[in-house]
């Protein structure tokens, strides 16, 4: 995947990014990237809020507190929507959203197959 745009992942792994920079791919599945039009300060705040919300999910699960887990998951969803990773798409060319679709079943299939 040399020369291909990549997004950093867990444990130092990198993931390919579609040519239009709308998605990254993990195990063949497309995941929507954040809205690139967000200003850096807002993006940084939202990413911080996302990490806080994800830690709250983990703590609630560990405590077997389903109400707290539900609340924390709603917080994760709210932040992901603000980042543009969920909810209405951030692009304006009318292209459909393929978030969470298998790349091989989308218009990105040929691009993905060429990655090897």
Condensed to tens digits (0 to 9), the pLDDT of residues 96-105 reads 999 999 999 9
Cα separation, 15 vs 112, in Å, equals 12
Range in 9-13, 38-42, 68-72, 110-114 with the lowest mean pLDDT:
9-13
Condensed to tens digits (0 to 9), the pLDDT of residues 53-90 reads 999 999 999 999 999 999 999 999 999 999 999 999 99
> Phi, psi at residue 18, to the nearest 5°?
-60, 155
Return the ∠ at Cα 43 (arms to 41 and 44), rounded to 5°: 65
pLDDT of residue 4: 54
Cβ atoms within 10 Å of 1's Cβ, excluding its own = 10
Q: Give the chain's mean pLDDT.
A: 92
Domain boundaries, the chain: 1-33+94-110, 41-84
Give 14's pLDDT tier (boundaries 50, 70, 90).
Answer: confident
Q: Is pLDDT above 60 for 1?
A: no
End-to-end CA distance of the chain: 8
């Amino acid at each position: 995947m040399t020369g291909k745009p990549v997004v950093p992942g867990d444990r130092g792994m990198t993931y390919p990014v579609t040519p239009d920079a709308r998605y990254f791919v993990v195990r063949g599945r497309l995941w929507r990237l954040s809205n690139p039009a967000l200003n850096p300060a807002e993006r940084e705040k939202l990413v911080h809020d996302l990490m806080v919300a994800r830690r709250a999910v983990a703590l609630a699960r560990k405590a077997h507190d389903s109400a707290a887990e539900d609340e924390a998951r709603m917080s994760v969803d709210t932040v992901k929507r603000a980042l543009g990773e969920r909810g209405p798409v951030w692009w304006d060319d009318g292209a459909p959203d393929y978030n969470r679709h298998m790349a091989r079943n989308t218009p990105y299939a040929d691009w993905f197959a060429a990655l090897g």
